[in-house]
């Protein structure tokens, strides 16, 4: 085995999924299958008002006429939607937890293993957590503190009851009910997710964070997240995911909607390390997510940062609609695929307002027999004068059985705008390795260092709390170079 | 073209025409069936996204084929330098066969056609083509004089559809230069498809220049498929100026080690012109190299689209693929659409692409104006400098001068 093969081998052998455990708790489940009945059941369980149910049913009716998209690169076996459960909630929380003490010890243990900062003493200071265990929010911390400054941070089902005027106004305004198959499916059957409202002029004092976790077998998770940043406000939101080891493929089709009004800024960070399947490509999560941000007001800004290391198939394009004049959109992404993982991810930047700016930095790392695709759209409309875009997508290949692809669409429709795109594909060069080895690093450390350097631009964008996990996820021990 | 029944009748009449090689009839029938199955291209199909053809073909509800019996050729169109002449009038080869120095130029004789899954216009061409030229160069022959192909569209042609098929074959260690130009005499509606197959044997070297100049109401589809063996090289330079609606599609298969392909294009468009480039380079073997270079200057309501793809097979280690497309948007209404694509399955490769679009650098204009050059002139200079970068790479002096003259001519009007 040559030196480089050895490195590849070591890299591929990077630690087996260590969050793969199953928590044994009773769950109440609806009978399998997608039907009007299921939707009514979900709505009833969530104690939703009638208008919400109607909204869901409308989506369900539209869904009947829609077909699954098939243009993406990773193909997957046909999903039998009648064979899935659409709702499952921990039984012991039928009436919802009232305080941290009421939490099922089993669940608590699970979170402890994952290191989720749910309990105050374990929490990194300043992080409020809205943890989703399967489909129901089990606890929300820091709520009171946030309440003082008028920030609403709760589960979406609570928001439909407590703040119907906001939900009615904004839900589905960024991702229309009819958008595409998986978005519509989500609109019909979404179970839980977060709702955030930042009032005008408020700078959210802490990072808001949600830990999603898929647990019950055969349960598709359909979260719905809605974040509204009112005028001149700021919020940073963290989303992170780990899921236990399963053999059957699990579907995850979430919708995330962001609305930034005049002068507002939203920073949305994701670390995704769901179960990617085993070395033979068996099992793993299908992650088909629709994420879209709308810079509705002038001078608003939306920034997406994502570190994608998990899931058998990742298929998502966090996008920005730059509607307000002078608004800005950013997209930073690291996607690491190994073994038989497939990722088709990228972004859309739609420039509609004057002097809008967008920046895209995408880093794809492919190892084993994985496929990694960047797919993106930059569209500058005729009225978006003075707009600017810069796109950079780099791919790194580790081993000769993987693939790296770049499929950008670039449309510039006015002369005062500038659009730049560049992409490169390379491997870890022998020179770099040699240099590192010469200075006493072992091969794995050397690869780690180089890969980390490759991703640095993106990892730097993550908030401190996440950077630590991202570091771990890149699969390497790196000292002090991220943050 | 959407009316398939009409088209079927048209085909029935067409396939019985006298000039058609009887051995190709079955291939034509198969191709036509494939076309019928796939239907007319639409913008919804990924392969035809951005394509002007998808919109334009609606205008051609009644296709009319015609054969022009008049074989005369206006010799004012001939180039001044010494060359071999290949004359195509309204899609049909009218010049005499050339057989000298290991060079053979005859009428197109092939009768077997391949299919490309998403390309129904290729099927259409295979069903309806009239024979164009076939160029063969023997091994170890270096053709000294350039071959000039005149695509002449006369005003006395009374059809509205021309399709032709052509073939170029270079045997081992041979070399040839080909310059091709379009001459349009009128502004009648015309749908023209041209299909060219190129095969290069080991160490062969082909350079092809193409001037696709001013036309109105013409919908043109150029398709080239080239196959390159070991150490062979293929270079192509296109100059597209004010083509009303055109799609240039090239597929290059690098099937031998050290094969090299270089595709270059200048687009200078104004009014409502729409030019689309779709290039696909397949690196199938080790140590292959490719380069794609596109520069566009877009005035008025013109649109340029560029879709370039580099595919690298898992076998094709040490590939070097390069792609750059740059556009100057010179009016508020002009558009530049691009899709520079990479699909890579080998790890030891160097592939990069870049794409940029924007307006003329105001600082440079200021610099020129502060030296007494008026604004329109300064702009012309900037555009000329921008496009000349491609022309500078043209090795043949005569052709380079033709391109430069063309550029000057454009700037002076």
Tell me what pLDDT residue A249 has.
57
Domain co-membership, B137 together with B267 = yes
Residue A215 has pLDDT above 50, yes or no: no
Strands (E), B108-204: 130-137, 147-153, 161-170, 175-184, 190-200
Q: Which of A88-97, A178-187, A221-230, B194-203 has the lowest mean pLDDT?
A: A88-97
Are B240 and B368 in a shared domain? no
pLDDT digits (tens, 9 = 90+) for B38-69: 888 888 888 888 888 877 777 777 777 777 77
Taking CB atoms and an 8 Å limit, are B352 and A425 in contact across chains? yes
B310 and B401 share one domain: no
Looking at the fold, whether B22 and B151 belong to one and the same domain comes out as yes
* Confidence (pLDDT) at B29: 87
Rounded to the nearest 5 degrees, what angle is found at the Cα of B249, between the Cα atoms of B3 and B407?
A: 115
Cross-chain residue pair A405–B333, CB shorter than 8 Å: no
As a whole-number percent, the residues of chain B with pLDDT over 70 amount to 100
CB contact under 8 A, A406 and B341: yes
Query: Which of A353, A357, A295 shows the shortest CA–CA distance to A325?
Result: A353
**What band does B199 get if pLDDT is binned at 50, 70 and 90?**
very high
Range of the structural domain that residue B365 is part of = 360-413
**What pLDDT, on the 0 to 100 scale, is given for residue A304?**
93
Domain end position, chosen among B339, B359, B379: B359
Assess contact for A297 and A266: CB atoms under 8 A. Answer: no
Whether residue A245 is predicted with pLDDT greater than 50 in this model: the reply is no
Pick the closest to residue B192 from B158, B164, B155 (CA basis): B164
Evaluate if residue A476 carries a pLDDT over 50.
no
Distance CA B239, CA B387 (A): 10
Model pLDDT, residue A122? 35
A365 has a chain B CB within 8 A of its CB: no
pLDDT tens readout for residues A418-445: 898 888 888 888 888 889 889 998 877 7
Contact status of A402 with chain B (Cβ, < 8 Å) = yes
Place of tokens 């695929």: A337
What pLDDT does A88 receive? 64
Q: Residue A477's pLDDT is what? A: 29
Q: Which range, of A470-474, B113-117, B241-245, B380-384, averages the lowest pLDDT? A: A470-474
Average the pLDDT over B114-125 and give the result: 88
Which residues does chain A have within 8 Å of residue B354's beta carbon, measured at their own beta carbons?
Answer: 420-423
d(CA A302, CA A264): 8
pLDDT at A121: 31
For A196-206, what is the mean pLDDT?
Answer: 89
Check whether A247 has a pLDDT greater than 50.
Answer: no
What residue ranges in B213-288 does DSSP mark as E strands? Answer: 218-228, 233-241, 245-254, 260-269, 274-283
Residues of A in contact with B314 (CB under 8 A): 400-401
Rounded to 5°, angle at Cα A255 from A164 and A459: 120
pLDDT digits (tens, 9 = 90+) for B316-345: 989 999 999 999 998 888 999 999 989 998
Over residues B168-193, mean pLDDT: 90
Residue B136 has pLDDT above 90, yes or no: yes
Q: Can you tell me the mean pLDDT for A237-256?
A: 69
Last residue of a domain, one of B341, B359, B377: B359
Q: Looking at the predicted structure, is the pLDDT value of residue A312 above 90?
A: no
C-alpha to C-alpha distances, B301 to A387, B56, B268, B330, nearest whole angstrom: 19, 16, 12, 10
B357, B362, B363: best mutation site toward chain A, by most A Cβ within 10 Å? B357
Q: Distance between terminal CA atoms of chain A?
A: 36
pLDDT tens-digit profile of A106-129? 555 545 555 555 443 333 323 445
Q: Does A20 score more than 60 pLDDT?
A: no
B283 and B376 fall within a common domain: no
Residues B265-296: tens digit of each pLDDT? 999 998 889 999 999 999 999 999 999 999 99
Q: Is the pLDDT of residue A196 over 70?
A: yes
Q: What six digits make up the tokens of B149?
A: 């192909």
How distant, in Å, are the alpha carbons of A114, A407, B255, B312, B346 from that of B284? 46, 20, 5, 6, 10
What number is the average pLDDT over the span B96-123?
Answer: 86
In this prediction, residue A141 has a pLDDT band, given cuts at 50, 70 and 90, of: low
Determine contact: A383 vs chain B, CB below 8 A. Answer: no
Which residues of A fall within a CB distance of 8 Å from B330? 415
Give contacts of B333 with chain A, Cβ < 8 Å. Answer: 382
Grade residue B225 by pLDDT with cuts at 50, 70 and 90: very high
- pLDDT, greater one: B293 or B189: B293
Partners of residue A402 in chain B, C-beta under 8 Å:
345, 347
pLDDT value at position B51? 84
Q: What is the pLDDT of residue B130?
A: 86
3-state secondary structure at position B4: helix
- Strand-pairing partners, residue A221, are A252
Inter-chain contact A420–B356, Cβ cutoff 8 Å? yes
Q: Is A382 on the interface with B (CB under 8 A)?
A: yes
pLDDT at A465: 64
Instruction: Report the mean per-residue pLDDT for chain A.
Output: 78
| Domain co-membership, B316 together with B279 | yes
Instruction: Measure A234 CA to nearest chain B CA, in Å.
Output: 32
Q: Higher confidence at residue B166 or residue A132?
A: B166
B108 secondary structure, DSSP code: -
**Sequence-ordered list of residues with C-beta below 8 angstroms from that of B107, at least 6 positions apart, any chain:** B93, B97, B131, B132, B133, B134
Whether the pLDDT of residue A135 is over 50: the answer is: no
In DSSP terms, which residues pair with A3 in a beta bridge? none
pLDDT confidence tier of residue A355, bands split at 50, 70 and 90: very high
Within this chain, do residues B290 and B404 fall inside the same structural domain, yes or no?
A: no
Which residue among B359, B377, B394 closes a domain?
B359
Is the pLDDT higher at B318 or at A273?
B318
Find, among A331, A438, A423, the residue nearest to A372 by Cα: A423
**Interface residue B45 vs chain A (CB under 8 A):** no
* A385, A411, A416: residue with CB nearest B337: A411
What is the rounded CA–CA span in Å between residue B196 and residue B222?
8
Q: Does the structure show a pLDDT above 90 at A460?
A: no
Share of chain B above pLDDT 90, in %: 39
Distance of residue A222 Cα from the nearest chain B Cα, in angstroms: 29
Query: Which residues does chain A have within 8 Å of residue B347's beta carbon, measured at their own beta carbons?
Result: 397-400, 402, 427
A113: left (phi over 0), alpha (psi -120 to 50) or beta: alpha
Tens digits of residue pLDDT in A384-401: 999 999 999 888 888 778
B203-223, pLDDT tens digit by residue? 999 999 999 887 788 889 999
The answer, yes or no, to whether residue B17 has pLDDT greater than 60, is yes
Tell whether the model's pLDDT for residue A221 goes beyond 80. no
Task: Inspect the interface and report whether the beta carbons of B330 and A415 lie closer than 8 Å.
Answer: yes
Q: How many domains would you assign to chain B?
A: 2
- Whether residues B355 and A416 touch (CB distance < 8 A) is answered with no
Please answer whether residues A284 and A30 qualify as being in contact, where contact means their C-beta atoms are separated by less than 8 angstroms: no
The C-alpha of A324 sits at a distance from chain B's nearest C-alpha, in angstroms, of 20
> What's residue A96's pLDDT?
46
B162 shares a domain with B14: yes
Q: What mean pLDDT do residues B112-123 have? A: 87
Examine the domain organization and report whether B302 and B377 are in the same domain: no
Q: Which of A18, A12, A63, A17 is nearest to A36 (CA)?
A: A63
Percentages of chain B per state (helix, strand, coil), in multiples of 5: 25, 40, 35
Query: What average pLDDT is seen over chain B?
Result: 88
Top-confidence residue, A292 or B186:
A292
Q: Are B396 and B288 in the same domain? A: no
Whole-number pLDDT of residue A21:
53
Q: B39-75: b or e for each residue (b if 16 or more CB lie within 10 Å)?
A: ebbeeeeebbbbbbbbebbeebeebebeebeeeebee
Beta bridge partners of A216: none
B341 & B387 share domain:
no
Regarding whether B125 and B11 lie in a shared domain, the answer is yes
Residues of A in contact with B358 (CB under 8 A): 412, 415, 417-419
d(CA B93, CA B319): 39
B347, B348, B354 ranked by CB distance to A421: nearest: B354
| Of A35 and A326, the one with more pLDDT | A326
pLDDT beyond 70 at A131: no
ipTM entry: 0.82
Give the C-alpha separation, A77 to A65, whole Å: 21
* Number of H-type helices and E-type strands within chain B: 7, 20
């Amino acid at each position: 085995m040559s030196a480089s093969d050895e490195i590849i081998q070591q890299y591929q052998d990077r630690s087996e999924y260590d969050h793969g455990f199953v928590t044994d708790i009773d769950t109440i489940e609806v009978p399998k299958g997608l039907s009007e009945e299921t939707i009514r059941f979900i709505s009833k369980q969530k104690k939703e008002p009638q208008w919400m149910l109607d909204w869901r049913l409308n989506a369900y009716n539209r869904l009947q006429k829609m077909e699954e998209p098939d243009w993406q690169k990773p193909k997957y076996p046909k999903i039998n939607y009648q064979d899935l459960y659409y709702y499952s909630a921990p039984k012991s929380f039928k009436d919802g937890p009232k305080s941290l003490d009421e939490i099922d010890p089993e669940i608590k243990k699970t979170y402890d293993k994952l290191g989720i900062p749910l309990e105050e003493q374990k929490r990194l200071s300043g992080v409020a957590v809205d943890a989703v265990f399967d489909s129901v929010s089990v606890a929300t911390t820091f709520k009171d503190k946030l309440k003082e400054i008028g920030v609403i941070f709760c589960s979406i089902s609570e928001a439909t009851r407590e703040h119907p005027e906001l939900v009615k106004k904004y839900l589905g305004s960024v991702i229309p009910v009819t958008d595409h198959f998986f978005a519509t499916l989500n609109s019909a059957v979404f179970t839980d997710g977060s709702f955030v409202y930042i009032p005008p002029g408020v700078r959210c004092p802490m990072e808001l964070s949600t830990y999603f976790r898929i647990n019950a077998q055969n349960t598709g998770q359909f979260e719905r997240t809605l974040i509204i940043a009112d005028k001149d406000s700021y919020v940073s939101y963290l989303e992170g995911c780990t899921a236990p080891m399963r053999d059957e493929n699990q579907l995850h089709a979430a919708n995330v909607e962001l609305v930034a009004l005049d002068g507002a800024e939203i920073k949305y960070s994701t670390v995704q390390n769901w179960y990617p399947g085993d070395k033979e490509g068996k099992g793993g999560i299908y992650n088909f997510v629709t994420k879209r941000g709308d810079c509705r007001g002038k001078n608003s800004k939306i920034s997406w940062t994502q570190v994608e290391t998990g899931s058998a198939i990742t298929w998502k394009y966090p996008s920005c609609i730059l509607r307000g004049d002078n608004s800005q959109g950013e997209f930073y992404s690291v996607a690491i695929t190994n073994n038989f993982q497939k990722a088709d991810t990228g972004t859309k930047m739609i420039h509609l307002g004057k002097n809008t700016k967008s920046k895209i930095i995408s880093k794809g790392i492919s190892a084993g027999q994985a496929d990694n695709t960047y797919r993106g759209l930059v569209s500058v409309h005729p009225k978006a004068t003075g707009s600017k875009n810069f796109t950079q997508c780099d791919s790194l290949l580790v081993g000769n059985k993987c693939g790296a692809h770049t499929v950008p669409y670039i449309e510039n429709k006015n002369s005062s705008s500038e659009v730049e795109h560049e992409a490169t594909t390379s491997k870890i060069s022998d020179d770099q390795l040699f240099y590192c080895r010469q200075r006493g690093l072992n091969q794995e450390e050397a690869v780690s260092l180089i890969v980390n350097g490759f991703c640095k631009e993106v990892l730097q964008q993550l908030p401190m709390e996440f950077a630590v996990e991202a570091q771990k996820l890149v699969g390497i021990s790196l000292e002090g170079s991220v943050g | 073209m959407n009316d398939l029944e009409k088209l079927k009748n048209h085909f029935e009449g067409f396939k019985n025409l006298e000039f058609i090689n009887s051995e190709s009839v079955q291939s034509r029938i198969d191709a036509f069936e494939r076309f019928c199955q796939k239907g007319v291209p639409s913008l919804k199909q990924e392969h035809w996204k951005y394509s002007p053809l998808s919109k334009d073909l609606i205008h051609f509800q009644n296709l009319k084929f015609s054969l022009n019996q008049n074989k005369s050729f206006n010799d004012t169109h001939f180039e001044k330098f010494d060359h071999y002449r290949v004359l195509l009038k309204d899609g049909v080869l009218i010049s005499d066969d050339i057989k000298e120095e290991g060079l053979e130029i005859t009428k197109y004789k092939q009768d077997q056609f391949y299919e490309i899954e998403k390309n129904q216009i290729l099927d259409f061409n295979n069903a309806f083509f009239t024979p164009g030229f076939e160029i063969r160069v023997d091994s170890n022959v270096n053709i000294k004089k350039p071959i000039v192909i005149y695509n002449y569209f006369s005003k006395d042609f009374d059809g509205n559809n021309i399709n032709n098929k052509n073939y170029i074959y270079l045997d081992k260690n041979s070399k040839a230069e080909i310059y091709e130009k379009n001459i349009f005499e009128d502004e009648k509606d015309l749908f023209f498809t041209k299909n060219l197959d190129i095969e290069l044997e080991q160490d062969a070297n082909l350079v092809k220049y193409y001037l696709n100049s001013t036309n109105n109401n013409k919908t043109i589809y150029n398709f080239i498929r080239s196959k390159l063996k070991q150490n062979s090289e293929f270079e192509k330079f296109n100059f597209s100026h004010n083509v009303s609606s055109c799609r240039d599609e090239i597929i290059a298969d690098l099937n031998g080690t050290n094969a090299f392909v270089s595709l270059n294009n200048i687009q200078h468009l104004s009014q409502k012109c729409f030019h689309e480039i779709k290039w696909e380079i397949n690196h199938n073997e080790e140590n292959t190299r490719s380069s794609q270079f596109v520069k566009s200057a877009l005035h008025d309501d013109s649109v340029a689209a560029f879709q370039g793809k580099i595919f690298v097979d898992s076998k094709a280690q040490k590939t070097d693929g390069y792609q750059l497309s740059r556009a100057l948007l010179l009016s508020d209404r002009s558009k530049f659409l691009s899709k520079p694509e990479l699909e890579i399955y080998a790890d030891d490769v160097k592939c990069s692409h870049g794409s940029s679009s924007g307006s003329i650098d105001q600082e440079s204009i200021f610099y020129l104006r502060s030296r007494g050059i008026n604004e329109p002139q300064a702009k012309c200079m900037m555009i000329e400098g921008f496009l000349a970068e491609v022309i500078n790479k043209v090795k043949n002096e005569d052709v380079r001068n033709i391109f430069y003259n063309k550029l000057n001519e454009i700037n002076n009007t």
